[in-house]
Structure 1
Amino acid sequence: MSSNGTVTVEKSNGKLPWNERLSYGASDFACSFTFSLIGTYLMYFYTDVFGITAGAVGTLMLVARVIDALDGPFWGIMIDHTHTKWGRSRPYFLWFNAPFTIFTILCFTTPDLPMNLKIVWAYVTYIGIDVLYSAVNIPLTSILPSMTTDPNERVLLSTIRSLFSNFGGTLISVIALPLVTLFGGTDNPRRGFFWVAVMAAAVFFIIYLVVFANLREHVQTRQSQQALPIRTSLKALRNNWPWVIVVGLNFIYWLGMQTKGQVTIYFFKYNLDKPELASLALFFNAVGLISVFLTPKIVMKIGKKKTILSGLALSILGQLVLGLGAQLLNVPLVIIGTIIGNFGNGFVGALIAVLLADSVDYGEWKNGVRAEGIVTSASSFTAKFGMGIGGAITGMLLSLGHYAPNKSQSASALFSIEANYVWVPLVALVISFILILFYRLTPEKELEMTRYIDAKHARENLEDSIE
């Protein structure tokens, strides 16, 4: 490091030590372990445990998305304005660890209130956790282009992150209901969900302290050494077509995944009359670990675009098999479709963050502005926005189908559950496939960008060290 604070661009040609790689992965284990509890079970918790109507829950999730329209870009701009001894993104792992932990617990706390105050409580706690999730998750994506410029190292980091994320989300999805019964018994799911939330929050808090301690921002430029004005940050988005495609993919893909995930327990409880199989179906999310593990090798052979397209094609096939199983009420077909779909989803999840990191480089190469915060904030923002709209769609369809909790469901209610579990996700996957067809950032162009950016950073650091 020079006297004026300029640091070298990379260490070991962009290769990072394993403690950083594993800490980066552990960060998304923590996020998925907590937020998958919310994404998978909170709607069921609201309707069947806390006693809020499906329509009110759907409205809540729609309102939360309006908030997201502001808080996602807000955190991106804040990151670009942050300049500390720890870097731009890393401080957020420390600053918002405890607040997110507390709100995770509050989401599953059930004070004895009248219905209107229950809804108020749900609004405050759900919107609170939603905003705070952006504060702890957006920096995970924004820090990636600051950790290394090596394309293969980025794929490896994103693969490790996806492996940990998939494992964390699968683990909490599988163990949540048994733990609810363990902590609360068969007659007190309120207490059970509360202590599961306490456990998940404690896991998050400890892991994020480790993440903050271990991660570093190695890629330092003139712009990263100072706060970027908003107008300058936004220049990174001008004609940034890779970013536009990835933002669209992130939104529509997670919309479909959310509508499916949050009605899993409904589908097995009411449509198939086999609630005991819900945890098994969620366990098969772990199939995605195999495809995530294979992602780096496949990317080396066929490239990122073809890898994602292959994953989406498998996901579409799995959803079609799942739909056939739902129509025939055939459990083996449902499980087979789930396995095929999850295998395909692993490729998609492993590469979305990599494509966003590449769009940071594209913004610097095209417009001369490196704005990790505003560019990558789209990751959490659009994913959450898609998940929220998915939640609103679920609530609306359940309400239109006259869903009644803990009762035998009408034909219209069963169809609304099936639509959320099968057909809405299928449409989202097809649209995602079409979007990626328009992705034009080739490996040759990536190599050109990387060489240009590395040379630019080295030249700037040399000039600053002379000064």
Structure 2
Amino acid sequence: MSKRERPYGVTSGGEKLAYALGDLGSNFVWTFCASWLTLYYTDSVLVSAGLIGTIMLVLRLADGVSDIIFGAMIEKTHTRFGKARPWFGGSIIPLVVIQLFVYNVPSGLSYRAKLVWIIVTYFLLTVVAYTINNLSYHAMLSRISLDPGDRNKVSSVRGIFAFLAGLLLSILTPILLKGNGGSKEQHAWTVTALVFSIACLVLESITFFCVKEKIPCSDETEKKDAKNGELKKGIYALVHTKYFYISIIVFICTYILNGLVLATHVYYTRDVLGNAGLYSLVAVTSVFATIIGISAAPRLFAKMGKQKTLMISSAVYIAGCVVGIVGARKLVMVLIATVITGLGLAPYVAGIFTFAPDIIDLLEQQTKIRYEGLVTSVNSVGIKVGTGLAAAALGWGLQIGGYNGALSVQAATVPTAEIVLVYGVPIVISVICMIAMSRWDIDKKLGR
């Protein structure tokens, strides 16, 4: 349809692409850190895996608090550029600059000073810069796309580009590290972080300049409501709906699955399969399978609904883990398991970011006010806590298994620990997702 023919609030192909590029860009920070930062800390900075996991978890829990704070700040923002868009644009440069500090722990520092550097820079990256960037980015979704069906399409395109970032990272990161001295060399991490920071800057800038919010902030009633305690009304309505808790649970579980498996495979291919060079093959296989699944997700949602689709997806993921356990040390079986789990994860990647717009619509139905920033902060809390738990599980699992970053050959218990992290823990997480989604019936509440 032409711009004149499209209903108001339905995005064009160009808008979908421009919005998706933002997530492609942000994953050059987020997925890079989620998949590779633990390896940098354990093998280059030489900090114990268990300690790193604990630091990441504690800071991610603090991150959940910052999500609520910045969500409230978005609710109070009313500018000619929009409500969430100004925060997104203003966070881009701080995000990419801080990532460079994260991946440049000075070698001359004492062990304690290195820990302080790690804590401060990781705090600034995740609790401050990325929180503002990611929260405002996803808050824009309900303001640029006002139709539920269109949102599913926008979110699916976004999900494809997010996993495209994973594909690029899985190919480029090993090449950049190896070409600059290997994962134990600081110079290699500096160059790699610089390349990915520039990519994030360019892609997110395209999103900022090309995506505009369709709901105007010039409405004096909206401004008056925000000043007269309507935020408290929104918080009350939010915490008194079960969908608030279901959304958090599913987000946490999804990001544990995604973060834990991606990060563990960096170690798994080397210690279990015996060839670190296989990481790119496994990661690329996972990304392609997930992208195929994401492409099919809108049709599945339209045919079966989100609730049923996601419950079936959990069962598929469990089946993939069973295949992985049976053939944990055989490359072919690992690749088959990777395809199945990728297909199982895909509908969650495509669907969970439409949870917030659905809840926003529900609260608007109840209160007559749209709470984009507040509700979207729920997503962000789930992302941060889930990723933090994934990092903690990886660090603790490696520690229990006896991992030592200074060794070239690990103890025999390490591969077993990594198999449990890749296939055992995700089975439990998938069961939790399935139970949570059995309670997601918001479409009935909205009369869809």
Structure 2 length as normaliser, TM-score?
0.92
Kindly indicate whether the alpha-carbon contact (under 8 Å) linking 2:44 and 2:183 is maintained by their aligned counterparts in 1: no
Structure 2 CA distance for aligned equivalents of residues 170 and 71 of structure 1: 30
3-state DSSP of counterpart to 1:110:
coil
Kindly indicate whether the alpha-carbon contact (under 8 Å) linking 1:30 and 1:207 is maintained by their aligned counterparts in 2: yes
Residue identity in the other structure for 1:92: W
1:251-309: CA deviation from partner (whole Å, max 9, x where unpaired): 12212322222111111111221211111111112221111111122222111212222
Residue identity in the other structure for 1:64: L
Correspondent of 2:67 among 72, 83, 102: 72
Partner of 2:359: 359
Structure 2 CA distance for aligned equivalents of residues 72 and 126 of structure 1: 16
1:83-105: CA deviation from partner (whole Å, max 9, x where unpaired): 11111100012111110010111
Shift of 1:382: 1.1
3-state DSSP of counterpart to 2:403:
coil
Residue identity in the other structure for 1:366: Q
Correspondent of 1:290 among 292, 311, 315: 292
Q: Counterparts in 2 of 1:274-285, with a 5 A limit?
A: 274-284=275-285, 285=287
Shift of 1:24: 0.8
Partner of 2:202: 206
RMSD, aligned α-carbons: 1.9
Kindly indicate whether the alpha-carbon contact (under 8 Å) linking 1:138 and 1:380 is maintained by their aligned counterparts in 2: yes
Structure 1 CA distance for aligned equivalents of residues 379 and 416 of structure 2: 32
Q: Counterparts in 2 of 1:295-310, with a 5 A limit?
A: 295-310=297-312
Correspondent of 1:109 among 104, 114, 119: 104
Correspondent of 1:175 among 134, 148, 172: 172
Gaps of 5+ in 2: none
Partner of 2:27: 32
Partner of 1:191: 187
Q: Counterparts in 2 of 1:218-233, with a 5 A limit?
A: 218-220=214-216, 224-225=222-223, 227=226, 229=229, 230-233=231-234
Structure 2 CA distance for aligned equivalents of residues 32 and 160 of structure 1: 14
Q: Counterparts in 2 of 1:41-440, with a 5 A limit?
A: 41-112=36-107, 113-131=109-127, 132-182=129-179, 184-186=180-182, 189-220=185-216, 224-225=222-223, 227=226, 229=229, 230-284=231-285, 285-326=287-328, 329-405=329-405, 406-440=407-441
Residue identity in the other structure for 2:159: S
Kindly indicate whether the alpha-carbon contact (under 8 Å) linking 2:316 and 2:344 is maintained by their aligned counterparts in 1: yes
Kindly indicate whether the alpha-carbon contact (under 8 Å) linking 1:141 and 1:357 is maintained by their aligned counterparts in 2: no
Kindly indicate whether the alpha-carbon contact (under 8 Å) linking 1:55 and 1:399 is maintained by their aligned counterparts in 2: yes
Kindly indicate whether the alpha-carbon contact (under 8 Å) linking 2:64 and 2:384 is maintained by their aligned counterparts in 1: no
Shift of 1:225: 4.4
3-state DSSP of counterpart to 2:327:
helix
Number of aligned residues: 435
Gaps of 5+ in 1: 1-9, 449-467
Structure 2 CA distance for aligned equivalents of residues 175 and 41 of structure 1: 12
Shift of 1:241: 2.1
When structure 1 is superposed on structure 2, of 337-346 and 359-368 the one drifting more is: 359-368
3-state DSSP of counterpart to 1:216:
coil
When structure 1 is superposed on structure 2, of 245-254 and 331-340 the one drifting more is: 245-254
Structure 1 length as normaliser, TM-score?
0.89
Partner of 1:456: none
1:210-260: CA deviation from partner (whole Å, max 9, x where unpaired): 211111221346665454544133134043222321111101221232222
Partner of 1:457: none
Correspondent of 2:14 among 19, 27, 37: 19
Partner of 1:458: none
1:34-89: CA deviation from partner (whole Å, max 9, x where unpaired): 21111000001100111111122012112212321321111111111111111110
Structure 2 CA distance for aligned equivalents of residues 363 and 97 of structure 1: 30
Residue identity in the other structure for 2:122: Y
Structure 1 CA distance for aligned equivalents of residues 223 and 152 of structure 2: 26
Structure 2 CA distance for aligned equivalents of residues 394 and 186 of structure 1: 22
Structure 2 CA distance for aligned equivalents of residues 287 and 446 of structure 1: 32
Structure 1 CA distance for aligned equivalents of residues 183 and 166 of structure 2: 26
Kindly indicate whether the alpha-carbon contact (under 8 Å) linking 1:134 and 1:381 is maintained by their aligned counterparts in 2: no
Shift of 1:407: 3.4
Shift of 1:447: 4.3
Kindly indicate whether the alpha-carbon contact (under 8 Å) linking 2:177 and 2:183 is maintained by their aligned counterparts in 1: no
